[in-house]
Amino acid sequence: MDAQRNRSTPHMLLPGLALGVIFACWMLGFNGGTSAAQSKTPLPFASAVDQRIEMIDQLRAIRELLKEQNELLREQNRLIRLGLEKQGVDPGRKDNR
């Protein structure tokens, strides 16, 4: 009787195993329902050309901001030098006290 029980056990595990695999696939998103929702979202760029154009525009804006920052730093350095000269300190010397 034990021999018959051992032969029937694999047949009983097969449906449970199949349900487990189906459930795991569904939980991981392999059911295909999410792909329709994902395709509705537009891509950030339609083509590589559009992406390059936007990158170039952003780089130009960064260049202009850097120019402005450099002008501000030059003005700041000029004002610091003028303030040191008014105090009688030589801005070129490192050991001014």
Segments making up each domain of the chain, as ranges: 1-41, 46-97
- For residue 43, the 8-state DSSP code is P
Model confidence over 1-55: pLDDT tens digits?
A: 455 555 556 667 777 778 888 877 777 776 555 555 556 777 677 788 999 999 9
What's the confidence (pLDDT) of residue 95?
65
Q: Quick count: other Cβ atoms within 10 Å of Cβ 58?
A: 10
Q: What is residue 80's predicted lDDT score, i.e. its pLDDT?
A: 92
17-47 burial: b if 16+ Cβ within 10 Å, else e? eeeeeeeeeeeeeeeeeeeeeeeeeeeeeee
Tens-place pLDDT, residues 53-89: 999 999 999 999 999 999 999 999 999 999 988 888 8
Cβ(91)–Cβ(81) under 8 Å?
yes
Instruction: Identify the pLDDT of residue 22.
Output: 80
